[in-house]
Structure 1
Amino acid sequence: MKLKSMMKRLVNLLAAFILSVNCISAQNLTRWVNPFIGTGAVQSSLSGNNYPGATVPFGMVQLSPDTREAPDWAQASGYDYNDSIIYGFSHTRLSGTGASDFIDILLFPTISDKRKSTFTHQHEQARPGYYQVLLKDEKIQAELTASVHVGVHRYTCSDGDQLKLWLDLDHSANKGSWNRRIIQSQLRMVSPTVVEGYRIITGWAKLRKIYFHLEFSQPILSNQLYDGNRMYENTPVINGTELRGLFCFDKKWNKELICKVALSPVSIENARLNMATEVPGWDFEYIARAAETSWEKELKKIIIQGTDLQKKIFYTALYHTMVQPNTMSDVNGEYMASDYVTRSVAKGEVHYSTFSLWDTFRAAHPLYTLIHTHRIPDFVKSMMRQYDYYGYLPVWQLWGQDNYCMIGNHSIPVIVDAVLKGVAGVDEEKAYEAVFNSSIVSHPNSPFEVWEKYGYMPENIQTQSVSITLEQAFDDWCVAQLAKRLGKEKDYNHFMKRSAFYRNLFNSKTGFFQPKNDKGEWIEPFDPYKYGANGGYPFTEGNAWQYFWYVPQNIPDLISLTGGNKAFVAKLDTFFTVSYQSGALNDNASGFVGQYAHGNEPSHHVAYLYACAGEPWKTQKYVAYIMNELYNDSSSGYAGNDDCGEMSAWYVFGALGFYPVNPVSGEYVIGTPMLEEAVIQLPGRKTFTVKAPRKEDNEVYICSMKLNGEKYTKNYITHQNIMKGGILEFVMTASPGK
């Protein structure tokens, strides 16, 4: 009888397992992704600065409409949902950033020779890997899809119309920003169906080289090539700095035109090879299905159960975390190194760029370590290649070049985290060499001789001094942890000493971190509510209130400086409730809960600090509020710039129920799980499941927890716990569990 019962139980378990596998395989998760989330503000809010166009996970090509003739800060990705005009479809852009760049190689189909058209959202749609819009003035349907290196366009017009196509190499982000200008470009007619060329442009990223190979499904009947206002008719090649071409196709061909555009940062030959390898044929539907399949594979790394609204927000957020970093090596492994020399990665490796590290080291990169473990060695090696050829690790890198627009050197926590979490394929000694030297070799915003001399950054020597002091102290703590792992005791002690430099700017009289000059004097007047931007003030894109909490490497010491748990919680209470403003806000300050500004990264970990001070129910309260009130499924779905997926990664972690307050500690502070169930797919076919069933939406407080069936009372869960696989179960309630 006992054996029969056991067999029955095994059969039921097997059936449940098969059903579970079938459910996972049958999921169509791309249907929950809405690429229009975060593409346009409403009522003076920030929107996210995302775009709706076609790309594949971590691809080089991001093919999307440009709704501005010269996209700038407020439309950094080139698209604004509130606009009504499309100027064409360009192949590269940044996702969610606060500044614009890329916007390369624009195509625009036309009947009338115009270079723009109105459009409406009623005739526009997008899904992962696909975008469609009706160009109203031209009566042309435009469809876009992509592979890693190739953008594919399909344009459909009415019978009898003569379709023409503009190819614009002058179109770019605003040339009034970052001293942006085109240094040289070329258009070359290779055959009746092939056009090739390049442009070299400088801007936020310096001296970018973009080579392209373009194939048409129909032969070109005639062309007009322009350099500025000078027109050349049916010429085979043109060079200049304001190039565009108008290509005319014969009416006798069918009404559909397909254009394939392959990119390379290295050469036209590589662009040809990229196309021949990835998109040799002309089946648009097949290419679009392949793009969608690539997204489905990545989205399945976390399977959730929740409301439809939760699924839309969650899977769109997960999607946005995988738009970048971007592949920067060609299919043959060649890439343009930071010293402008063509080099190659080893077979099977990929070189990446677009590292918005001031943002993404906080949550996006910890998320990659969790669910994209196999990509981490390539991310790390890509960063270390800049060290090899440039002398120090990336600060904010795009198209292989650093722009230094932010502070700290947050490649360091990303690399150290990969080593400490045991990611295979990362050379520990090489990693240590890179993080060590990047912490002693001075570079923009990081004068380490000043750091060592004063034990802080004096504002009269280094502006943004308080923010840099706090963030650099954390980076130094990360270096110390890697030194400790490798048995480098002298280095460990040195960097641990530097990791406490934040104490040198703590003013016990005011209870804030404040700026000093090089004489050790407090700089007055001091206003903790006053904002700084990116220079000329001690705080970066925030104020003293928002930066007070940035000591993730030693939260117990921060609590002690504040006067203990009770005083610390009281200060948090004030932070989340006082809405006083002093002067103008920084442009990145938005999504307010008191002084907390969810629209920018310095605040992102703060709600979780209640749990570190013994009042986790307040963490649960505010995390739930932020997820419910500051995210939605509209064009204004984010409370601030998505910043290459960081705002999205915050939501993914928040919904799962834990967050990397110190992203290198290997611990995630528990918040409040918002989903009925989430299953994280881990390496080795393991899974980690979070269960939090609730009867009412207001059940945001944790009553009790179990880890693998055993009572669990810690306020954090370790990375090791998760990677082993298992089940974390929550019992939720509507009342704070004090």
Structure 2
Amino acid sequence: MNVKTKITVSVVSVLLVFSANGQSRKAIDYVNPFIGTGAVESGLSGNNYPGATSPFGMVQLSPDTRTEIDWDRNAGYDYNDNSIVGFSHTHLSGTGLADFFDILFMPVVGKIDESSTDPTRFQSRFSHQQEHASPGYYQVKLLDYDINAELTATTRAGFHRYVYPAGKQARLIINLNHSRKKGSWDTQIINSQLRQVDAYTIEGYRAITGWARLRKVYFYVRFSKPVLRNIMTDGGIIYRESKVLNGRNLKGVFDFDTADNEPLLAKIGISATSIDHAKQNLDQEIKGWDFDEVKLAAQNQWEKELEKIRVEGTENQKEIFYTALYHAFIQPNTMSDVSGDYMTAGFNNSNVAHSGGGVHYSLFSLWDTYRAVHPLYTLLQPERDVDFIKSMIRQYDTEGYLPVWQLWGQDNYCMIGNHAIPVVVDAVLKGLPGIDVPKAYEAVKNSSLTSHLNSPFEVWEKYKYMPENIQSQSVSLTLEMAFDDWCVAQLALKLGKQADYERFTARSKYYRNLFNAQTKFFQPKNDRGEWIEPFDPLKYGSNGGHPFTEGNAWQYFWYVPQDVNDLIRLTGGEEAFSGKLDQFFSLKSNDGEVNSNASGFIGQYAHGNEPSHHVAYLYNYAGQPWKTQF
């Protein structure tokens, strides 16, 4: 065993505490998928969903309690709601915006308003007393229809089991119009298709644009019982016994015979590339009709991932810990089919490529995830992390730069910085095998030179900071881009590229150009080098039109992780630095100066927002480590 291996093993041994007596229950038994599904402070929700998914799966099969979702309850489910509008097959977890909600299923009985395009006309009340969720499984009783609904999932397929009441006409609605609020982020259905292939099979697709631009979702459904009759509608126009329908507001109602009290089973494969690939995904991952077998396989998958860490503590602490680990392993999401095919980046839905043996992933919320969860992946998911890196580099091959915020294979350029760079550099410097290191360096270097949205590098190098009158969010951008440049410099040093090392090291110090020695804060300047006044360090910014991104000058003051000692020097030494930290954790905000993106305040520290996450550890650099532990 070489030295690097010994160091790696010893570090992991410290982090992963295995105890023969510390935990008798399985890890999945501690997971509570309902954590984060309801508002807890100032109307803020964790924006998590309780439904069935597999680790890093393409399918997230979960109940939706709302329609036309916009800026609120972004996972589609709110624990405080009492009605379900259906079960859709794709969801986001923990994001600040909503999207997806593809292919909504809703089982119903009896007479309904068949022409209605409003999913709330078919919703059903439910009770948490008759609802259950665990990794890979979800169950609920739809009270208005007396239907017991169960869901499980594989990586690329979903499995439904519905038990209808005896003596009632069993029906299933498939809604292709359900989405986030139309018009928000230009969300609209571009086209969709619903086709009954035979008595047991439905297929189709929808093309939609929204936060994720110009994406297609293809699906292939098989039923355990034959369809007796169907009704298809487009915007309220009814087509009876139609075999295929195209339109922008499609719904199908399918009737079944469940007089024998056997459940109706429906299994569905999805794909971003084609209906044929959706069928292949289904055929490969759910070969038979044993729902419980698929459910058990999903649970075993989750146990394999979660049992990598054994912890000691109270039962409540274990529930919080394993649920958080579960949420960390929900995404990024698989985007390649079982064949290895995937849709490339670049708003080109005709461009299908092959992943070359690995899995292609998407959903890289990098401003959020580069700070903690991607470093965690290098320890707990090293093979997947290599595939994450390869997936990011594939966008570089198409677009000329690494992802900023990639969703369903397309970059939506949400947030700031180019934080795929530290993710790639971290994996390379840790020596994860399987990464093309020269290619990785080419990608991180050119992603720091090729201008794109919110990254005008010609401005960066001309002024050596971001002027607010040229680029909004200028202070946050200056601080975060300086860190990204430092990361490029470290990889350049590792590879012996001295000129690049010196260039990017110099850029990594540009944060100094926005430090005001009089106020001891980082402040915005214009392109003439003048401080922009008035300046209030407590004033919050949002996502544009303000010098700070989801924060204020107090919260961004601490963002020089590449050179904390220099930040201490700028502040006036360790005593001044630790004193400012003390003030940070005790200073209250002005009335009304709280960003809706932030929560969990301790003074100016916002535990519920990313820029604060590292700050408590800075006491360690100032000779007062006990305050970090306080």
Per the alignment, do residues 24 and 589 of structure 1 end up closer, same or farther by CA in structure 2, a change over 3 Å counting? closer
Which of 228, 233, 246 in structure 2 is aligned with 1:221?
228
TM-score (norm 2): 0.94
Structure 1 unaligned blocks of 5 or more: 1-19, 622-738
2:38 aligns with one of 34, 37, 40:
40
1:566-605 correspondence runs (5 A): 566-581=575-590, 583-605=592-614
Tell me the SS of whatever aligns to 2:486: helix
**More divergent stretch after superposition (508-517 vs 168-177):** 168-177
Contact kept? 2:22, 2:311, Cα under 8 Å: no
Structure 1 position 576, deviation (Å):
0.0
1:565-714 mapped onto 2 (5 Å cutoff): 565-581=574-590, 583-621=592-630
* Aligned: 1:207 with 2:205: no
SS at match of 1:312: helix
Task: Check 1:597–1:195 CA distance in 2 against 1; reply closer, same or farther (3 A cut).
Answer: same
Aligned twin of 2:367? 358
Q: CA deviation at 1:612?
A: 1.3
| Cα distance, 1:174 vs structure 2 | 1.2
Deviations 1:25-49 (A, max 9, x none): 9751111000000100135352311
Residues 123-155 of structure 1 show CA distances to partners (whole Å, capped at 9, x for unaligned) of 111000000111111111111100000011111
CA distance in 1, matches of 2:504, 2:437: 18
What is the distance in 2 between the residues matched to 1:323 and 1:499? 33
Check if 1:393 corresponds to 2:391: no
Change (3 A) 1:84 1:416: same
Match of 1:345 among 349, 355, 365: 355
Judge conservation of contact 1:530–1:582 (CA < 8 Å) in 2.
Answer: no
Look up the equivalent residue of 2:263 and give its one-letter code: E
The CA deviation string for residues 33-81 of structure 1, in whole angstroms up to 9 with x for no partner, is 0000010013535231111000010000000000101222211111111
Confirm or deny that 1:511 pairs with 2:520. Answer: yes
Say yes or no: does 1:332 pair with 2:331. Answer: no
Give, in whole Å, the separation in 2 of the partners of 1:261 and 1:598: 39
For each residue in 1:425-458, what CA deviation from the matched residue of structure 2 results, as whole angstroms up to 9, or x when unmatched? 1111000100010000000100000000000000
CA contact (8 A) 2:600 2:606 kept: yes
Q: Is the 8 A contact 2:44 2:596 kept in 1?
A: no
Match status 1:85 vs 2:83: yes
Identify the match of residue 168 of structure 2 among 161, 169, 179: 161
Number of residue pairs matched by the alignment: 601
Give yes or no for contact 1:529–1:582 (8 Å, CA) kept in 2. no
Query: What is the Cα deviation at residue 509 of structure 1?
Result: 0.4
Supply the AA of the counterpart residue of 1:287. Answer: V
* One-letter code aligned to 2:234: D
Query: 1:270-297, CA deviations, whole angstroms, 9 ceiling, x for partnerless residues?
Result: 0111011000111111111110000000
Partner residue, 1:278: 285
Q: Is 1:440 matched with 2:438?
A: no
Q: C-alpha distance in 1, partners of 2:141/2:355? A: 41
Look up the match of 2:12.
Answer: none
Distance 1:561 1:381 in 2: 39
CA distance in 2, matches of 1:506, 1:305: 44
Give the letter for the 1:360 counterpart.
T
The yes-or-no answer on 1:322 pairing with 2:329 is yes
The residue that corresponds to 2:252 in the other structure is 245
Q: Is the 8 A contact 1:442 1:448 kept in 2?
A: yes
Partner of 1:139: 146
| 3-state SS in 1 of match to 2:623 | coil
State the alpha-carbon separation in 2 of the partners of residues 126 and 548 from structure 1. Answer: 41
Contact 1:597/1:603 (CA < 8 Å) preserved in 2? yes
Aligned to 2:534: 525
- Tell whether 2:194 aligns with 1:187: yes
* Contact residue 575 and residue 596 of structure 1 kept, 8 A: yes
Amino acid corresponding to residue 491 of structure 1 in structure 2 = D
CA distance in 1, matches of 2:50, 2:353: 33
Match of 1:100 among 98, 101, 119: 98
Task: Supply the AA of the counterpart residue of 1:440.
Answer: L
* CA spacing shift, 1:496–1:475, aligned 2, 3 Å: same
Tell whether the 8 Å contact from 1:456 to 1:505 is kept in structure 2 after alignment. yes
- Cα distance in structure 1, aligned partners of 2:186 and 2:260: 44
- When residues 604 and 29 of structure 1 are mapped into structure 2, their CA distance, relative to the original with a 3 A threshold, is same
How far did 1:381 drift?
0.3
Q: 1:540 aligns with which of 520, 534, 549?
A: 549
Q: 1:377 to 1:419 in 2, by over 3 A?
A: same
Specify the code of the residue in structure 2 equivalent to 1:405: C
Tell me if 1:269 matches 2:280: no
Greater shift, 22-31 or 512-521, is seen at: 22-31
Answer whether contact 2:22 2:312 (CA < 8 A) is retained: no
Q: Assess if the C-alpha contact under 8 Å between 1:333 and 1:344 holds in 2.
A: yes
SS of 1:63's equivalent in the other structure is strand
Match of 1:472 among 462, 478, 481: 481
- Cα deviation per residue 1:332-371 (whole Å; 9 max; x = unaligned)? 0000001331000112x00000000000000000000111
- Partner of 1:500 in structure 2? 509
Deviation at 1:85, TM superposition (A): 1.0
2: CA distance, partners of 1:24 / 1:528: 47
Q: Quick one: which amino acid aligns to residue 35 of structure 2?
A: I
Distance in 2 (alpha carbons) for counterparts of 1:24 and 1:607: 29
- Whichever residue aligns with residue 36 of structure 1, its letter is F
3-state SS of 2:319 partner: helix
Deviation of the 1:583 alpha carbon: 3.8
Q: Which residue number in structure 2 is paired with residue 424 of structure 1? A: 433
Report the Cα distance in structure 2 between the residues aligned to 1:560 and 1:21, rounded to whole angstroms. 44
What letter is aligned with 1:202? T
Indicate the residue corresponding to 1:235 in structure 2: 242
Aligned position for 2:54: 56
User: Structure 1 CA distance, aligned partners of 2:591 and 2:556?
Assistant: 16
- Aligned identity (percent) is 63
SS at match of 1:80: coil
Single out whichever of 300-309 and 582-591 deviates more from structure 2: 582-591
User: 2:159 is aligned with what amino acid?
Assistant: V
Paired residue type of 1:155: Y
The structural deviation recorded for 1:254 is: 3.2
| TM-score in terms of structure 1 length | 0.80
